[in-house]
Amino acid sequence: MVINQASLKRDGVQDWVSLRATAVIITFFSLYMVWFFVSTPQVTFEIWQGLFSALWMKVFTFATLVCIMIHVRIGLWQVLSDYVKNARLRVLLQYLMNLLAFAYVLVGLFVLWGV
Amino acid sequence: MNRETADGAQGEISDDENSTLQGSNGQQIVKKQRPVNLQLNTISFPPAAISSILHRVTGVALFFALIFVIWAWAVSVSSAEGFDMVVECMNGVLGKLIAIGTVSAFIYHLLGGLRHMVMDMGHWEEMQSGNNSARIIIGLWIVLTVLVGVVVW
Ligand code: HEM
Ligand code: HEM
């Protein structure tokens, strides 16, 4: 008998889709950055700051950081649940890593606010 | 009792091979004792296995490398002095090694991720094609890393 687990927990299909959807956005952002470095002969502070002061680039950068947070939230959970059998330790490590991922997003938010 | 496992290693199996437990509703739960082989040097690692573990290692490594990437980005984009400082770091040996390492891990993780998505759509799933695609991305990764290394250095 299959017991349907009605809860707030995410399911595997949702994880699978989220991991790939976020991967695609991170890929586009990275390709854009590669293109920027390759197509800009001399990266000066003005050009570099100018890049991130455009509104669309702020949105793009922030969205990418949020995607990274979602991506590693799932990805690191997969890794931790494979190797760390002790439930308490796993939850602790997961908590610390998710905190770091959240810090990445916060730093991004404040920096983008300022430029 | 000794039993031959698929990769030729010897697995120990105790005599009470299948221990039977009683479930709470009276049903029988058979716990099959499988041979456990954690002796890594007796397991063969085909390209697909190497590719899989590399994807995992680079994914975790990238997560921590982001500390440097986001620090460098935050400092350099906030002020001209910060920018100069990061450029200086990028000119140092340590800065270059971190940059090359980070880009290299990213390249592998990206190629591995793309391979994953092709496999999700039902290609490269056979032994031969899976190992070949693994060989190709590992080769591509090495070539691209050398390229980035030369450009950054
Ligand atoms: C900031 C960058 C990234 C970080 C820190 C990161 C981290 C991770 C981690 C830790 C995992 C779990 C690995 C495992 O379970 O074995 C993972 C899985 C995955 N990553 Fe990334 N990743 C990043 C970028 C990307 C990009 C750009 C792609 C694009 C193709 C990608 C594609 C994938 C895929 C498809 C998986 C799932 C693999 C599976 O189903 O087992 N990732 N990532
Ligand atoms: C850990 C984070 C970083 C990584 C992985 C990284 C990676 C790279 C790579 C692969 C290149 C070679 C591209 C080329 O030469 O055209 C490069 C060049 C460059 N990077 Fe970074 N970078 C990082 C952080 C930064 C930041 C935040 C800045 C901004 C101050 C910066 C400034 C530069 C400059 C000015 C060049 C051109 C150097 C030259 O042409 O000699 N880097 N970086």
Q: Position B56: which residue type?
A: R
B110 to A27: CB separation less than 8 angstroms, yes or no: yes
The pLDDT of residue B112 is: 97
Alpha-carbon torsion (A94, B59, B57, A11), positive or negative: positive
* Annotated binding-site members of A for a ubiquinone: 83
Residues B119 and B91 grouped into a single domain:
yes
Q: Which domain holds residue B26?
A: 2-42
Residue A6 counted as domain residue: no
Q: Which tens digits make up the pLDDT trace of B32-55?
A: 777 776 777 778 889 999 999 999
Residues B35 and B68 grouped into a single domain:
no
Residue A3 counted as domain residue: no
Share of chain B above pLDDT 90, in %: 69
Q: Which tens digits make up the pLDDT trace of B71-84?
A: 999 999 999 999 99
Ligand 1, atom nearest to A78 Cα = 15
CATH number of the domain that B107 lies in? Answer: 1.20.1300.10
Residues B36 and B56 grouped into a single domain:
no
Tokens of B128: 């031969």
Helices (runs of H) and strands (runs of E) counted in chain B:
4, 4
Q: Which domain holds residue A48?
A: 12-113
Residues B112 and B59 grouped into a single domain:
yes
Lowest mean pLDDT among A80-84, B27-31, B147-151: B27-31
- Could you give the C-alpha distances from B85 to A51, B3, B75, B138, B150, in angstroms and in order? 19, 62, 8, 35, 22
For chain A, say whether B68 makes contact (Cβ under 8 Å): no
How many domains does one find in chain B?
A: 2
Residue A90 counted as domain residue: yes
CATH number of the domain that A109 lies in? Answer: 1.20.1300.10
How many domains does one find in chain A?
A: 1
